């Protein structure tokens, strides 16, 4: 059943991604991106990362994309769409590059992906302790420094938002 | 994973319910559109200009602050869950974090980011 | 293994159908109760014609809505216009999946949790699903091609995101006390003492935020008739209109159920069976919604934003810090 | 429930970061709370300088061993201390030169100083991070501050556009960086640079091509930040559009920080696979030097010219990275230090001469400067000579070290290309000098208002450029020490 | 059986689509959304690796990536709004991003 779920979600994500990059109306693009985000969140669940899955929905789909939506509506971009679409000379290299990148990755993946050193957090252990509990503990012990720096990062973002967007 | 199965079932049920409602109303309702009926409602006057006018930057700023604060809140969840084992150490950590957050909040307030004029 | 799995699915389906049916029933009866209660509070009678004391009024309303013409305004975005009510209703309905409405019971030798599913991120699940509800409202406002709808939709969503913050923070105190995000654990932890005693400020903040989150009076600005006609559902008719109403009532039931679970001890209580306790507490919360609606006037939009951002937000953070401090001091 | 182990953490090791964060917030709040009573707001600059000086005092000196803290994710060694010194020096000088500019452009906000200090925190984190996560967070703290700083002049379109370009391309490049990090994580199972190195030494043969892919993507991501050539498209426009003081800031500190992370990642974690990544960096170095210098020749705007010159300098620094020996890395550190002095010196003079709204930015505007303001012209000439690598300036010594390191590692071709490039660069640097001394003024020189701050910055830069050029040995010793504790 | 390869291939496909989107789209907001798609593809590979490596670090990293993405979104959209105010467009051809 998990295999089916993976394939369904992967298909949803890829199809939505294709629509996202060819969709003319930004409002629809946002909805496609939300679909991608949700399907990736389901994949996170399959991978046992429940907390990350929830944060993906809460932060990405529930906050960041809402901000995108607000900006698109604020600027009323949907009315006058991109008048001239992609320049043709850029389209070709882009597609070529896409193919090259994919095939390069594909060639490397042909050989079985070599995985690094195995860690101690097996699924069973994570299940016993609880995914969120473990994240909490690691965040506040091992990753204390980046955690505190994050608050400064958000401070910077707030300064940026205020100073760039607020009319004096 | 199996405990997420009921959610999937419920989701399908809810979707089915919603779609049924939409389809039913299309099937059962009368369909006699007239130009007046289809005009956007503007208190009886003919619509003026485009409906998608730009609205105040204020809403956008609110959404932006929401994104930033939402992240801060999300950081509190794992802390709250692990708090009982982190004890005093965890409390000091979050005190610093929330302290910086409050300074940031105070900054936004003073710069008028929370005013709704 | 397979048989067990099958039984698990079967039991889940039964639970889902029951819960779904009960919610539908509650929505329908809420519509009647709200009209009756408000009428009596305002010394009127309310609906009396259809059935005894107007009991069948909601059904009449439903049939009426079903046969109404389904109008899609010109130059509206047809697909989104049709999908928006569903985007609003579905999240409202599926939030209920993690709320425990009773203790374990034994049926035919199987021990059944009276909760659709107990996941260990239950609390985050509620928030995740709740935060998706915004899309329905914004899309309804945007797709209608109507100024009032758009402004109403934007206002409603700005209000929802503002109060989602405080809603989230107000419940963190409870999480700290319990150390788990599973709602079943949270209810079990309240066997002796309800959390409202330990977290009065948290409950206070939650109550206000929840009112605002579901756009109810005194926070029903998105539908302020005097300014915005009917807000984001101005252009909606027929069952699509009804779906927005269903979503609103379903949301009311959900936030009440969360309040019961987090602060009022869930299904815990003496003498009566747990499910009965749960329903009683839920009904009390829902009654408060109606009561508030007939008591308070509507806030101004700037007052609403100031209340959320300048009062509740710092207060809720302070509440967490004090809770943490007390817990550390008590060891 | 497992118990939480008491972690190894050392508050002293992050003290400079704490000081800067604290002063950033103080500056912000002094501006907000007392802005009406402050008048000319000089105090903001004083406070930021005080913060930088205190941070410098805290992080001065050397350490005999590498001190790891925060569960091996953060390291204080001579290498990071040296970089801290570079960052603090450049930030301090930028604050000195920006004060007057900010007032003239009417953007003298407390936010400016706060963001510059916060950005410096990010740089320090990049130089001291022993873990890819810390380096990534540091990179973002630095970059996001600079995105905002670039767009600080809200009403000016070029500033907005520059900010948008920098932001979109920066976020794009970060995507590649992250993908590289992810692949490295998959192939080795760790984010810790030392653990990655251990894994690669023991089992590197198994994960070969996969690791190369990851390293390649990381090089793309960081290559963008150091403005190496295929990823340089943002540089000229952003340099031109950003407020000049911000241009000065981002041409030095962030570049040094990106190089710090570059060296630390490539040398510590991927030292065992250096034959692979050297090939990539080799090509990048040649492209970067050549394109930077050749295109710079054609520029008429001084800020654009400096942008291409900064690309070219990134190319020289990449040469040092290719050499990948002690001499190369120490040459790079030395060069970065000299680059701080000469580059900020040039920008100081550009700021002194420029008018409101970035008038007076064409090279031809400088005609006759030698007669009108001889001191400024002399200082400018000195900085430009140093950039061109002409003795007895610091730039010459730096280039000398770098190229001899390349030769020593057997990259003679690379060194030759580098020298040819230096010769090209002499042309466009000296052109400015020629214009200053040999041509009649095309425009009136406005009466200049010169604040003591900016004079101090120019004097420090002049002293630095000359001192490093004439007496390089002391600093060189220090630099060589820095590398020893790194590995 | 779903292996790590499945996830990595999916992540690579999404990442490539994101890159292509960045290169062919002209609307700055949509370009930014494609960048978000790239970041999500990367996050997926992090979580997949974390799962198959039995390690939590990948999940932590994703948490931080999301945080950074949020900060970037706030700043980036503020920048886009600032550009729009002065220029009434968000088309990057008009902003001329590839100018020499």
Q: Which of A97, A157, A158 is the mutation pick for testing E, counting most E CBs within 10 A?
A: A157
Q: Is D213 in Cβ contact with A104 (below 8 Å)?
A: yes
Residue listed under structure tokens 């990179």: D139
Q: Which residues of D touch B86 (CB under 8 A)?
A: 4
Q: Is A147 in Cβ contact with B97 (below 8 Å)?
A: yes
Of A11-25, C214-228, D134-148, D224-238, the one with minimum mean pLDDT is C214-228
Distance (Å, rounded) from C-alpha D1 to C-alpha B84? 10
Q: Which residues of D touch B85 (CB under 8 A)?
A: 1, 3-4
Q: Which residues of E touch B71 (CB under 8 A)?
A: 66-67, 70-71
Question: Quick one: CA torsion of D251, D253, D259, D261, rounded to 10 degrees?
Answer: -140
Q: Is A10 contained in some domain? A: yes
Question: Is the reported ipTM for this assembly greater than 0.90?
Answer: yes
Are β-strands C102-107 and D67-69 bridged in parallel, bridged antiparallel, or unpaired?
unpaired
Helix (H) or strand (E) holding C104: strand C102-107
Q: Is A71 contained in some domain? A: yes
Q: What is the pLDDT of residue E98?
A: 44
Instruction: Please tell me which of the candidates A56, A77, A90 has its beta carbon nearest to residue E23.
Output: A90
Residue ranges of chain D with per-residue pLDDT less than 70: 1-9, 204-207, 356-358, 485-487
Q: What is the pLDDT of residue D1?
A: 34
Q: Is E41 in Cβ contact with D147 (below 8 Å)?
A: no
Are β-strands D74-76 and C110-114 bridged in parallel, bridged antiparallel, or unpaired?
unpaired
Q: What are D75's strand-pairing partners?
A: D68
Q: What is the pLDDT of residue A142?
A: 86
> pLDDT tens-digit profile of D18-67?
999 999 999 998 988 887 777 777 888 899 999 999 999 988 777 777 78
Q: Is A114 contained in some domain? A: no
B57 part of contact set with chain E, CB < 8 Å: yes
D4 part of contact set with chain B, CB < 8 Å: yes
Band of pLDDT at residue B117, cut at 50, 70 and 90: low
Q: How many Å lie between the alpha carbon of B110 and the closest alpha carbon of chain E?
A: 19
Q: Is B25 in Cβ contact with C65 (below 8 Å)?
A: yes
Q: How many Å lie between the alpha carbon of A116 and the closest alpha carbon of chain D?
A: 4
Q: Is A92 contained in some domain? A: no
DSSP state string for C7-46: HHHHHHHHHHHHHHHHHHHHHHHHHHHHHHHHHHHTT---
Q: Is E48 in Cβ contact with A164 (below 8 Å)?
A: no
In chain B, what is the greatest distance between 2 CA atoms, to the nearest angstrom?
A: 70
Q: Which residues of A touch E7 (CB under 8 A)?
A: 43, 47
Q: Is B115 contained in some domain? A: no
The 3-class SS string of chain D reads CCCCCCCCCCHHHHHHHHHHHHHHHHHHHHHHHHHHHHCCCHHHHHHHHHHHHHHHHHCCCCCCCCEEECCCCEEECHHHHHHHHHHHHHHHHHHHHHHHHHHHCCCCCHHHHHHHHHHHHHHHHHHHECEHHHHHHHHHHHHHHHHHHHCCCCCCHHHHHHHHHHHHHHHHHHHHHHHHHHHHHHHHCCCEHHHHHHHHHHHCCCCHHHHHHHHHHHHHHHHHHHCCHHHCCHHHHHHHHCCHHHHHHHHHHHHHHHHHHHHHHHHHHCHHHHHHHHHHHHHHHHHHHHHHHHHHHCCCEHHHHHHHHHHHHHHHHHHHHHHCCHHHHHHHHHHHHHHHHHHHHHHHHHHHHCEHHHECCEHHHHCCHHHHCHHHHHHHHHHHHHHHCCCCCHHHHHHHHHHHHHHHCCCHHHHHHHHHHHHHHHHHHHHHHHHHHHCCCCCCCCCCCCCHHHHHHHHHHHHHHHHHHHCCHHHHHHHHHHHHCCC
Q: Which residues of A touch D9 (CB under 8 A)?
A: 144-145
Instruction: Please tell me which of the candidates D5, D163, D210 has its beta carbon nearest to residue A108.
Output: D210
C163 part of contact set with chain A, CB < 8 Å: no
In chain E, what is the greatest distance between 2 CA atoms, to the nearest angstrom?
A: 54
Domain ranges of chain E: 4-87
Q: Is B55 in Cβ contact with C154 (below 8 Å)?
A: yes
Contact predicate D405/D325, CB 8 Å = yes
Instruction: Please tell me which of the candidates B85, B103, B111 has its beta carbon nearest to residue D3.
Output: B85
Share of chain C above pLDDT 70, in %: 97
Structure tokens at D172: 């794009």
Which region, left, alpha or beta, applies to residue B33 given φ > 0 means left and ψ of -120 to 50 means alpha? Answer: beta
Cα radius of gyration rounded to whole Å, chain B: 25
Q: What is the pLDDT of residue B41?
A: 64
E18 part of contact set with chain A, CB < 8 Å: yes
Has residue E83 got a pLDDT over 70? yes
B71 part of contact set with chain E, CB < 8 Å: yes
Contact predicate D197/D272, CB 8 Å = yes
Distance (Å, rounded) from C-alpha D27 to C-alpha D454? 20
Secondary structure of residue C117 in the 3-state scheme: coil
Burial class (CB in 10 A: 0-12, 13-18, 19+), D301: middle
Across chain C, mean pLDDT equals: 85
Q: Which residues of C touch B15 (CB under 8 A)?
A: 86, 90
Nearest chain C residue to A50 by CA: give it.
Answer: C121
In chain D, what is the greatest distance between 2 CA atoms, to the nearest angstrom?
A: 81
Q: What is the pLDDT of residue D84?
A: 92
> pLDDT tens-digit profile of D173-199?
999 999 999 999 998 888 999 989 888
Domain that holds residue A75: 1-79
Q: What is the pLDDT of residue C148?
A: 78
Q: Which residues of A touch D125 (CB under 8 A)?
A: 149
Helix (H) or strand (E) holding C113: strand C110-114
Of A120-129, C123-132, C230-239, C301-310, the one with minimum mean pLDDT is C230-239
E68 part of contact set with chain B, CB < 8 Å: no
Q: Which residues of D touch B113 (CB under 8 A)?
A: none
Structure tokens at C136: 């329905």
As a whole number, mean pLDDT of residues C62-79 equals 77
**Nearest by Cα to D240 from D174, D193, D307:** D307
Q: What is the pLDDT of residue C275?
A: 87
Of B52-61, C211-220, E14-23, the one with minimum mean pLDDT is B52-61
Q: How many Å lie between the alpha carbon of A132 and the closest alpha carbon of chain E?
A: 11
Q: Is B57 in Cβ contact with E73 (below 8 Å)?
A: no
> What sign does the dihedral B30-B31-B36-B39 (CA atoms) show?
positive
Domain that holds residue B84: 2-110
Q: Is E45 in Cβ contact with D144 (below 8 Å)?
A: no
DSSP state string for chain A: -HHHHHHHHHHHHHHHHHHHHH-S-HHHHHHHHHHHHHHHHHHHHHTT-HHHHHHIIIIIIIIIHHHHHHHHHHTTTTTS--SS-S-HHHHHHHHHHHHHHHHHHHHHHHSPPPP----S--HHHHHHH-HHHHHHHHHHTTTHHHHHHHHHHHHHHHHHHHHHH---
Q: Is A34 contained in some domain? A: yes
Q: Which of residues 20-59 of A touch E (CB under 8 A)?
A: 20-21, 26, 29-30, 33, 36-37, 40, 43-44, 46-49, 51-52, 55-56, 59
Helix (H) or strand (E) holding C58: helix C57-67
Residue listed under structure tokens 């034959």: D275
| Residue D371 vs residues A3, D9, D367, D378, D428: alpha-carbon distances, Å | 79, 59, 9, 10, 21
Distance (Å, rounded) from C-alpha E12 to C-alpha D482? 39
B76 part of contact set with chain A, CB < 8 Å: no
Instruction: Please tell me which of the candidates D137, D165, D171 has its beta carbon nearest to residue E97.
Output: D165
As a whole number, mean pLDDT of residues C198-225 equals 82
**Nearest by Cα to B86 from C262, A119, C119, D1:** D1
Helix (H) or strand (E) holding C106: strand C102-107
Of B36-40, B66-70, D421-425, the one with minimum mean pLDDT is B36-40
Q: What is the CATH number of the domain that holds A30?
A: 1.20.120.1200
| Touching chains, E (3+ CB pairs < 8 A) | A, B, D
Q: What is the CATH number of the domain that holds B69?
A: 1.20.58.1610
Structure tokens at C134: 């915004």
Q: Is A29 in Cβ contact with E30 (below 8 Å)?
A: yes
> pLDDT tens-digit profile of D85-107?
999 999 999 999 988 888 888 88
Number of independent structural domains in chain A: 1
Distance (Å, rounded) from C-alpha C223 to C-alpha C153? 9
Q: What is the pLDDT of residue E76?
A: 94
Burial class (CB in 10 A: 0-12, 13-18, 19+), D466: middle
Has residue C171 got a pLDDT over 60? yes
Q: Which residues of E touch A63 (CB under 8 A)?
A: 70
Residue listed under structure tokens 């049916």: C21
Q: Is A79 in Cβ contact with B74 (below 8 Å)?
A: no
Q: Which of B48, B55, B69 is the mutation pick for testing C, counting most C CBs within 10 A?
A: B69
Q: What are D192's strand-pairing partners?
A: D131
Q: Is B64 in Cβ contact with E78 (below 8 Å)?
A: yes
Distance (Å, rounded) from C-alpha D289 to C-alpha A164? 35
* Residue pairs between chains B and E whose CB atoms are closer than 8 Å: 18
Has residue C65 got a pLDDT over 90? no
Q: Is A124 contained in some domain? A: no
**Nearest by Cα to D196 from D176, D178, D179, D214:** D214
Q: What is the pLDDT of residue D2?
A: 39
Secondary structure of residue C52 in the 3-state scheme: helix
Q: Is E81 in Cβ contact with B67 (below 8 Å)?
A: no
Helix (H) or strand (E) holding C111: strand C110-114
C228 part of contact set with chain A, CB < 8 Å: no
In this structure, the number of other CB atoms found within 10 A of the CB of residue D350 comes to 23
Q: What is the DSSP letter of C68?
A: S
Contact predicate D141/A156, CB 8 Å = yes
Instruction: Please tell me which of the candidates D28, D147, D206 has its beta carbon nearest to residue A114.
Output: D206
Has residue C191 got a pLDDT over 90? no
Nearest chain B residue to A153 by CA: give it.
Answer: B68
Instruction: Please tell me which of the candidates A50, A55, A73 has its beta carbon nearest to residue C154.
Output: A73
Rounded to the nearest 5°, which phi and psi values hold at C193? -135, 130
Q: How many Å lie between the alpha carbon of A94 and the closest alpha carbon of chain D?
A: 14
E71 part of contact set with chain B, CB < 8 Å: yes
Q: What is the DSSP letter of C308?
A: I
Distance (Å, rounded) from C-alpha A38 to C-alpha A89? 34
Q: What is the pLDDT of residue B42?
A: 62
The 3-class SS string of C123-187 reads HHHHHHHHHHHHHHHHHHHHHCCCHHHHHHHHHHHHHHHHHHHHHHHHHHHHHHHHCCCCHHHHH
Are β-strands C110-114 and C102-107 bridged in parallel, bridged antiparallel, or unpaired?
antiparallel
Q: Judge: domain E4-87, CATH 3.40.50.12780.
A: no
Q: What are D362's strand-pairing partners?
A: D301
Distance (Å, rounded) from C-alpha C66 to C-alpha C69? 8
Secondary structure of residue C237 in the 3-state scheme: coil
Q: How many Å lie between the alpha carbon of B103 and the closest alpha carbon of chain E?
A: 17
Band of pLDDT at residue C323, cut at 50, 70 and 90: very high
Q: Is D4 in Cβ contact with B107 (below 8 Å)?
A: no
Nearest chain B residue to A136 by CA: give it.
Answer: B78
Secondary structure of residue C107 in the 3-state scheme: strand
């Amino acid at each position: 059943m998990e295999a089916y779920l993976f394939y369904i979600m992967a298909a949803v994500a890829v199809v939505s991604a294709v629509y996202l990059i060819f969709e003319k109306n930004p409002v629809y693009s946002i909805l496609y991106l939300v679909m991608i985000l949700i399907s990736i969140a389901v994949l996170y669940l399959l991978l046992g990362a429940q907390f990350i899955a929830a944060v993906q929905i809460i932060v990405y789909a529930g906050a960041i994309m809402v901000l995108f939506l607000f900006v698109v509506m604020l600027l009323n971009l949907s009315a006058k769409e991109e008048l001239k679409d992609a320049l043709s000379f850029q389209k070709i290299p882009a597609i070529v590059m896409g193919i090259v990148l994919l095939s390069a990755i594909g060639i490397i993946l042909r050989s079985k992906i070599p995985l690094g050193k195995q860690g101690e957090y097996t699924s069973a252990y994570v299940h016993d302790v609880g995914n969120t509990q473990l994240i909490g503990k690691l965040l506040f012990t091992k990753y204390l420094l980046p955690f505190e720096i994050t608050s400064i990062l958000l401070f910077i973002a707030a300064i940026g938002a205020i100073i760039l967007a607020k009319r004096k | 994973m199996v405990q997420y199965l009921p959610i999937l079932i419920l989701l399908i049920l809810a979707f089915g319910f919603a779609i049924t409602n939409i389809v039913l109303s299309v099937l059962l309702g009368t369909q006699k559109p007239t130009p007046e009926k289809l005009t956007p409602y503007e208190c009886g006057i003919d619509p003026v200009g485009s409906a998608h006018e730009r609205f105040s930057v204020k809403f956008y700023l609110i959404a932006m602050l929401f994104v930033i604060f939402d992240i801060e809140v999300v950081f509190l969840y794992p802390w709250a869950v692990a708090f009982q084992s982190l004890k005093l150490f965890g409390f000091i950590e979050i005190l610093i974090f929330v302290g910086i957050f409050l300074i940031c909040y105070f900054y936004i307030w003073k710069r008028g980011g929370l005013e709704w004029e | 293994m397979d048989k067990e799995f099958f039984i698990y699915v079967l039991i889940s389906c039964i639970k889902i159908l029951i819960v779904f049916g009960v919610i539908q029933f509650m929505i329908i009866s809420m519509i009647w109760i709200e009209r009756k209660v408000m009428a009596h509070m305002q010394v009127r009678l309310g609906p009396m014609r259809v059935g005894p004391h107007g009991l069948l009024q909601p059904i009449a309303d439903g049939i009426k809505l079903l046969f109404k013409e389904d109008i899609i305004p010109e130059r509206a975005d047809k697909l989104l216009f049709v999908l928006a009510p569903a985007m609003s209703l579905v999240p409202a309905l599926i939030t209920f999946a993690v709320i425990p409405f009773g203790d374990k019971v034994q049926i035919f030798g199987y021990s059944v949790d009276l909760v659709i599913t107990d996941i260990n991120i239950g609390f985050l699940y509620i928030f995740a699903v709740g935060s998706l509800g915004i899309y329905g409202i914004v899309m309804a406002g945007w797709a209608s091609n109507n100024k009032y709808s758009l402004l109403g939709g934007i206002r409603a969503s700005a209000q929802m995101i503002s109060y989602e913050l405080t809603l989230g923070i107000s419940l963190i105190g409870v999480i700290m006390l319990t150390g788990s995000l599973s709602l079943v654990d949270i209810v079990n932890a309240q066997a002796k003492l309800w959390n409202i005693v330990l977290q009065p400020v948290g409950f206070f903040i939650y109550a206000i935020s929840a009112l605002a989150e579901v756009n109810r009076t005194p926070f029903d600005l998105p539908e302020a008739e005097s300014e915005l006609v009917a807000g984001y559902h101005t252009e909606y008719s027929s069952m699509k209109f009804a779906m927005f109403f269903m979503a609103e009532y379903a949301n009311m039931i959900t936030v009440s159920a969360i309040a019961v679970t987090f602060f009022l001890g869930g299904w815990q209580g003496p003498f009566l069976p747990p499910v009965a306790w749960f329903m009683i507490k839920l009904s009390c919360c829902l009654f408060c919604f109606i009561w508030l609606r007939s008591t308070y006037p509507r806030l101004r939009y700037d007052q609403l934003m100031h209340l959320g951002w300048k009062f509740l937000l710092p207060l809720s953070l302070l509440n967490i810090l004090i809770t943490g401090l007390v817990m550390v001091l008590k060891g | 429930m497992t118990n939480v182990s008491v972690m190894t953490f050392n508050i002293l090791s992050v003290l400079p970061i704490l000081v800067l964060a604290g002063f950033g917030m103080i500056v912000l709040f002094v501006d907000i709370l007392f802005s009406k009573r402050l008048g000319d707001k000089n105090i903001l600059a004083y406070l930021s300088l005080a913060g930088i000086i205190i941070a410098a005092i805290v992080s001065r000196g050397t350490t005999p061993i590498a001190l790891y803290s925060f569960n091996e994710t953060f390291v204080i060694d001579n290498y990071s201390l040296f970089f801290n010194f570079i960052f603090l020096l450049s930030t301090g000088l930028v604050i000195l030169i920006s004060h007057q500019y900010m007032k003239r452009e009417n953007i003298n906000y407390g936010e400016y100083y706060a963001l510059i200090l916060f950005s410096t925190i990010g740089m320090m984190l990049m130089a001291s991070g022993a873990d890819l996560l810390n380096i990534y967070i540091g990179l973002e703290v630095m970059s996001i501050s600079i995105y905002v700083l670039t767009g600080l002049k809200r009403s000016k379109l070029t500033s907005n556009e520059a900010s948008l370009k920098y932001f979109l391309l920066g976020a794009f490049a970060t995507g590649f960086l992250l993908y590289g990090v992810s692949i490295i994580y998959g192939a080795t199972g760790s984010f810790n640079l030392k653990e990655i190195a251990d894994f690669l030494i023991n089992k590197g043969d198994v994960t070969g091509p996969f690791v190369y892919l990851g390293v390649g993507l990381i090089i793309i991501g960081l290559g963008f930040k150091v403005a190496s050539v295929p990823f340089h498209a943002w540089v000229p426009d952003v340099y031109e559009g950003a407020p000049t003081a911000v241009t000065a800031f981002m041409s030095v500190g962030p570049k040094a920080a990106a190089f710090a992370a570059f060296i630390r990642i490539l040398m510590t974690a991927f030292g065992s696979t250096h034959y692979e990544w050297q090939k990539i960096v080799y090509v990048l170095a040649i492209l970067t030097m050549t394109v930077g210098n050749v295109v710079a020749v054609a520029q008429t705007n001084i800020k654009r010219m400096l942008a291409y010159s900064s690309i070219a300098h990134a190319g020289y620094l990449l040469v040092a990275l290719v050499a990948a020996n002690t001499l190369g890395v120490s040459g790079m550190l030395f060069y970065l230090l000299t680059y701080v002095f000469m580059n900020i010196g040039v920008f100081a003079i550009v700021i002194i001469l420029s008018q409101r709204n970035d008038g007076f930015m064409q090279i031809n505007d400088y005609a006759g400067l030698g007669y009108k303001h001889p001191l400024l012209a002399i200082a400018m000439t000195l900085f430009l000579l140093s950039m061109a690598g002409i003795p007895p300036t610091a730039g010459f010594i730096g280039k000398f070290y770098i190229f001899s390191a390349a030769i020593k590692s057997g990259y003679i071709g690379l060194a030759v290309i580098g020298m040819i490039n230096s010769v090209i660069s002499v042309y466009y640097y000296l052109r400015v000098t020629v214009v200053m001394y040999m041509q009649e003024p095309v425009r009136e020189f406005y009466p200049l208002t010169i604040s003591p701050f900016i004079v101090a910055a120019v004097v420090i830069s002049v002293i630095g450029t000359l001192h490093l050029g004439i007496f390089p040995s002391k600093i060189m010793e220090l630099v060589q020490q820095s590398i020893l504790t790194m590995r | 059986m779903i292996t790590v390869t499945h996830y990595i291939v999916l992540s690579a496909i999404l990442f490539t689509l994101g890159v292509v989107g960045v290169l062919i789209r002209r609307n700055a907001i949509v370009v930014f959304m494609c960048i978000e798609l790239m970041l999500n593809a990367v996050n997926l590979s992090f979580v997949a690796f974390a799962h198959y490596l039995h390690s939590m670090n990948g999940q932590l990293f994703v948490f931080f990536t999301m945080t950074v993405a949020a900060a970037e979104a706030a700043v980036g959209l503020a920048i886009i709004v600032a550009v729009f105010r002065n220029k009434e467009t968000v088309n990057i051809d008009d902003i001329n991003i590839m100018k020499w």
